[in-house]
Amino acid sequence: MVVSALLIATGFIGALGFKNELVAVWALGIASVLGAAPIAIQAYQALKVKVVSIDVLVTIAVAGAFVIRNFEESAIVTFLFLFGAYLEQRTLNKTRSAIKELTEMAPESALKQMEDGEFVEVDVDEVDVGDILLVKTGAKVPVDGTVLSGEGSINEASITGESLPVSKEKGSTVFAGTILDNGTLQITADRVGEDTTFGKIIELVEEAQDSKSAAERFIDRFSKYYTPAVLVLGLLVWAFSRDIELAITILVLGCPGALVIGVPVSNVAGIGNGARHGVLLKGSEVVGDFSRLDTMVFDKTGTLTVGNPSVAEKAYYGGYIDEALGYLASVERESDHPLAKAVLDEIGETTISPVESTEVIKGGGITATVDGHKVAVGNVALMEREGVPLSEQATADIERFETNGNSLVLTAVDGELKILMGVRDQIRPGVREDLRRLKKLGVKNLIMLSGDNQGTVDAVNRELGLTQAHGNMLPEDKAAYIRRLIEQEGQIVAFVGDGVNDSPSLALAHIGIAMGSGTDVAIETSDVVLMNSDFSRLPHAFGLTKAIARNMRQNILIAVGVVLLLLSAVFFSEWMNMSIGMLVHEGSILVVILNGMRLLRYKLR
C-alpha cells in the first residue's frame, strides 16, 4: 500500500510537474500491478470455493482499466481498496478489544505448594484441581478456588464488571483473573484452565463474536447472488453501450462492502461492550429476540430477592429484652431451622446460656429451659399451645408482619411474650428502580412466578409494582405458563432465573437470562448471563441489545443508500468515475465501522 502510494505520487509529479509521460505511465502501471496482485489472489481464492466476492469485481475492473490504458484509474482504485482494507482491519481490531482485554487479564503463573511445603512459581497450566496456591497482594488469582486461610479484598471487575473490592476470608470463593488488592490468601484449586469462570467467559465471548445473526446470514445469502448480478449488469452495459469504461465503473461502484461488514461490526462491538459490563450475550442470534421482547418473567427467590432470609421487622414487649434476646439466641443455636440463622444474625453477639429440657413441637417451634426460665420460640400456634397471652398491640403487629409477607418468630419467657420477629427474603437493593428502567425501555409486562405462597408473593408485588405475580408454582407450572405466553398470546418472552430449578423455563423462553454468579449451570443453560447475579446489569443488557439492533439497521440503510446513490450517479451525472466511486465506497465502509464502534462506549442513560 505504501509503495503503491509512492509510485502514484511519482507518476503524477512526473506527468504534471515535469511533463514526462513515460515516467507517469511506468509509475502508475507498476502501482496498478502491485496493488492488484493481493486483490487478485483473494479473488482467486474466493473463486476456488465458488464465491464471486468483491475482490473478483475489483480485479476485473482493474484489469479492464489496465487494458484500455487508463493507468490513473487502475492505480488509484487498487490503492484505495488496499487502504480501505487496512483501515477496516484496524478498526475491526478495536471492536474486538473486549477479547484482547480479557485475554491480557488471564493469569499466566501461580505460586504452587510443593511436597516440601514451599511455594514455587509455576506456569498456570501446571496447576491441577486440589493444588494449594498462595496469592499475594497485587497478584492475579490463577484459578477458581476456595480460600483456605488468610483475609483480603479482591477486585472482581474482570468477572462482574463491578470495580468495588470484595472482602474474602476462609471459605470464600475466588475467581481466576481477579486481582487481590490487599492481604494474602492460601486457596485450593477447584477449577483450572478453560474450566474456570474466566476461561468460560473468554470462550463464550469469542463464540458470540464469531456467531452470525439472522440478519448477517441473510446478508451473506444476498451478497452471494448480488455480486454476480453486478457482474452481469456490467457485462450487459458493455454489450449494449460498447463503453468498457462505463461497465468497469459499474463493477467498482456496485461492490456491497459496507453492507457485508456493517451488521457484523455492530454485533461484535455490542457483545464486547456487554462483556466489559458483566453481561454475556451468547451469540448474535440473541440480539434479535432480546431487542424485541415485550414480556419479562422473573423467578422470585435469588432473582428479585437476595435469596437469604433475614429479619425484616421486629417488635419488643415489656422489660428485660437483652436477657430475652440472649435466651432466644441460646435456643436458636440448638436449631437447624432455616429461620434460626436469620434470627442469630440479627441478634449478633450476646450472652449464651446453657439450654436444658429441649422439646421440638412439630409445626410449632421449640420449648426449652434456659438459665432456669421456660422459653418458647415459634409461631402463633405455639404461643396458643403454651397459653401465652397476646396483647392487642402484639396481635396488630402479628397481622401487619404477616401482611408484609414475613414468617413469624415469637419468643415468650415464662409465659410472657417478649419478642416478635418477621423474617423474609429481602428484595434486592435497587430492583424497583431497575424494573422502572425496563418499563421505560419498552418492556410491557413484568411478571413474577414463585413457588412461595401467594401471600408472600403479593407482598413482594406490592413493593415492586409488577404487572402480575403468581405463587405456589412448581418448575413445571412455570414452564407451562411460559409456553402459554408464547404459543397462545404470541408474546416475545424473556425468563430471568437462577439457571438451576428454572432450567425448563430458561430453555422455553425466547431469551433465557441467568442470575448465575458465573456458575456452570447458568452459563450452559441460558442465552444471557448476568455475572455475579447483579440484577442492575439487566437494564443495561436490554438497552444494549436495542442499541445493537438499531445500529445494524442504520448500517444497512447507509450501505444500501450509498450503492444506490453511486449507481444513479453513473447513469445520471457527468462527474462520476471509477476513482471517485471507489473513494466513496471505501468511505462508506469506514462510516459503518465507526458507527458500529459507537457501541463500545454505550451506557444506559
pLDDT, tens only, 8-59: 899 889 888 888 888 888 998 899 899 889 989 988 998 888 777 777 877 8
Would you place residue 201 in the very low, low, confident or very high pLDDT band (cuts 50, 70, 90)?
low
130: pLDDT strictly greater than 50? yes
Would you place residue 369 in the very low, low, confident or very high pLDDT band (cuts 50, 70, 90)?
very high
Q: Which residues are 149's β-sheet partners?
A: 186
218: pLDDT strictly greater than 90? no
Overall average pLDDT of the 246-257 stretch: 77
Q: 201-210, 258-267, 433-442: which range is least confident on average?
A: 201-210
In sequence order, the 6+-apart residues with CB closer than 8 A to the CB of 418 are 316, 317, 318, 320, 321, 324, 411, 412
Annotated active-site residue in 55, 144, 299, 397: 299
CA torsion, ordered 468, 470, 475, 479, to nearest 10 deg:
-40
Q: What is the pLDDT of residues 505-559, one digit of tens each?
A: 887 888 988 876 544 555 566 788 887 778 888 999 999 999 999 999 999 899 8
Contact 183, 150 (CB under 8 A): yes
From 109, 90, 275, select the one nearest 200 (Cα to Cα).
275
Q: What span, in angstroms and rounded, lies between the C-alpha atoms of 136 and 62?
A: 61
Q: What span, in angstroms and rounded, lies between the C-alpha atoms of 276 and 160?
A: 9
Q: 106-110, 135-139, 214-218: which range is least confident on average?
A: 214-218
Highest mean pLDDT among 27-36, 259-268, 282-291, 495-504: 27-36
Q: What span, in angstroms and rounded, lies between the C-alpha atoms of 490 and 484?
A: 9
| Residue predicted with more confidence, 76 or 603 | 603
Q: What is the pLDDT of residues 515-529, one digit of tens each?
A: 765 445 555 667 888
Overall average pLDDT of the 363-375 stretch: 88
Q: What span, in angstroms and rounded, lies between the C-alpha atoms of 564 and 138?
A: 57
How far from chain centre, in Å, is Cα 155?
Answer: 19
Joined grid coordinates for residue 322: 437483652
Query: Could you tell me the residue ranges of all domains in the chain?
Result: 2-96+205-266+547-601, 108-142+144-191, 307-426
Q: How many CA atoms lie within 13 A of 284 on its CB side?
A: 19
Q: Give me the residue label for grid cell 488471564.
A: 106
326: pLDDT strictly greater than 80? yes
Q: Tell me the pTM.
A: 0.67
Overall average pLDDT of the 392-406 stretch: 88
Contact 166, 154 (CB under 8 A): yes
Q: Please, what is the average pLDDT of the chain?
A: 83
Would you place residue 163 in the very low, low, confident or very high pLDDT band (cuts 50, 70, 90)?
very low
The pLDDT score that the predictor gives to residue 578 is: 75
Contact 158, 118 (CB under 8 A): no
DSSP β-ladder status, 407-413 and 119-123: unpaired
The pLDDT score that the predictor gives to residue 435 is: 94
DSSP state of 140: B
Give the angle subtended at the CA of 507 by the CAs of 510 and 442, to the nearest 5°. Answer: 30
Amino acid at 188: T
Joined grid coordinates for residue 426: 429481602
Is 299 catalytic? The answer is yes
Q: What span, in angstroms and rounded, lies between the C-alpha atoms of 11 and 30?
A: 10
Overall average pLDDT of the 204-212 stretch: 56
Contact 284, 216 (CB under 8 A): yes
DSSP β-ladder status, 493-497 and 511-515: parallel
Q: Does domain 307-426 have CATH number 3.40.1110.10?
A: yes
Q: What is the pLDDT of residues 165-197, one digit of tens each?
A: 778 889 988 988 888 988 899 999 998 887 776
The pLDDT score that the predictor gives to residue 506 is: 80
From 371, 364, 362, select the one nearest 385 (Cα to Cα).
364
The CATH number corresponding to 108-142+144-191 among 2.70.150.10, 1.10.10.10, 2.40.110.10, 3.40.50.620 equals 2.70.150.10
Helix or strand (DSSP H, E) at 199: helix 197-210
The pLDDT score that the predictor gives to residue 71 is: 81
* Separation of first and last alpha carbons in the chain: 42
Q: What is the pLDDT of residues 437-463, one digit of tens each?
A: 999 999 999 999 987 778 778 888 888
Overall average pLDDT of the 451-477 stretch: 83
Joined grid coordinates for residue 560: 444500501
Q: What span, in angstroms and rounded, lies between the C-alpha atoms of 540 and 543?
A: 5
The pLDDT score that the predictor gives to residue 216 is: 58
From 267, 287, 366, 371, select the one nearest 599 (Cα to Cα).
267
CA distances from 462 to 293, 312, 404, 436 (A): 24, 16, 9, 14
Overall average pLDDT of the 141-160 stretch: 83
